[in-house]
Amino acid sequence: MSDIVDKSSVGLDARQYHIDIAPGEVGTVALLPGDPFRVPFVAEFLDHVKDVAHKREHRTMTGYYKGRLITATSTGMGCPSTAIAVEELARVGVTSFIRVGSSAALQPGVEPGDLLVSEGSLRNDGTTAAYVHHGYPAIPDLAIAQSLKETAAAVMAGSERSVFSGINATDDAFYAEGPEWIAELSRMGILNVEMESSAMYVVARLRGLRAGMVCACSSNLVTGDSVYGDKNARLKEGWMASIEAALETAVALEL
């Protein structure tokens, strides 16, 4: 049985198989949008931008924000590719992760374009079950979560948009989120639902790393309010605000 591959020990000091990044090509903090086409949105805030790699769903760019080296890597959709991105970024030197993405609200009063800061995730995914016991919590680094709340509030001050914080759900199957499930999540007080954060949180905790999430609200699944159609500009504004809040947190905490 000595020929069985131990994935935890292979490729540790090499260019990573999925994200195509080698040690020394990125910094210690990474912003994680899901969509590779949103990585350039992060780059709009940065100086001395470099295109590092783009393989599969994982696009990576780096640059400096207020003197701090920032990495932006897309995770793709869902927990499996997110777990791979976090694992491989950790192998090349990243120690802190902030997810910046889209998320659907589950409580009345939250509108498209508002910011949603995660205080923990309900693990309704299969990936984290492969890592840990079903009762293991998926929670952010507390200092990062608190800083994201503060920086998001500062970024949104004076605008028509609001900042909310609470527990989110992480689901695997976008089109399996039927009315009964949405109503149940809302009844439990879950603020919003997305598809990546539980994997990021669990992998980060297991590897001794730090993670947090701030998302822009794309739709409200209990009121029917959506960015689809004439409200897309509000979502883009939300994305940019979430990125700015994440960058300010990276600087404030010296991640």
Residue 4 in any domain: the answer is no
49 closest CA partner among 34, 37, 35, 65: 65
Give the three-state DSSP class for 87.
Answer: helix
Number of domains in the chain: 1
Q: Residue 227: its pLDDT value, please?
A: 65
d(CA 228, CA 112): 10
Residue 229 has pLDDT above 60, yes or no: no
What percentage of the chain reaches a pLDDT higher than 70? 98
Residue 132 in any domain: the answer is yes
Q: Tell me the CATH number at 207.
A: 3.40.50.1580
**Structure token digits, residue 195:** 């598809």
Is the separation of the CB atoms in 51 and 91 below 8 Å? no
Residue 221 in any domain: the answer is yes
Is the separation of the CB atoms in 19 and 40 below 8 Å? no
Residue 181 in any domain: the answer is yes
* Span 215-223, average pLDDT: 96
d(CA 62, CA 78): 23
Question: Which residue range(s) make up the domain with 64?
Answer: 29-240+248-252
Sorting pLDDT into bands at 50, 70 and 90, what band is 158? very high
Residue 152 in any domain: the answer is yes
* Span 14-35, average pLDDT: 97
Is the separation of the CB atoms in 74 and 38 below 8 Å? yes
Residue 231 has pLDDT above 60, yes or no: no
Strand 96-105 with 68-73, pairing:
unpaired
Residue 23 in any domain: the answer is no
Residue 32 has pLDDT above 80, yes or no: yes
Residue 197 in any domain: the answer is yes
Is the separation of the CB atoms in 74 and 54 below 8 Å? no
Residue 165 in any domain: the answer is yes
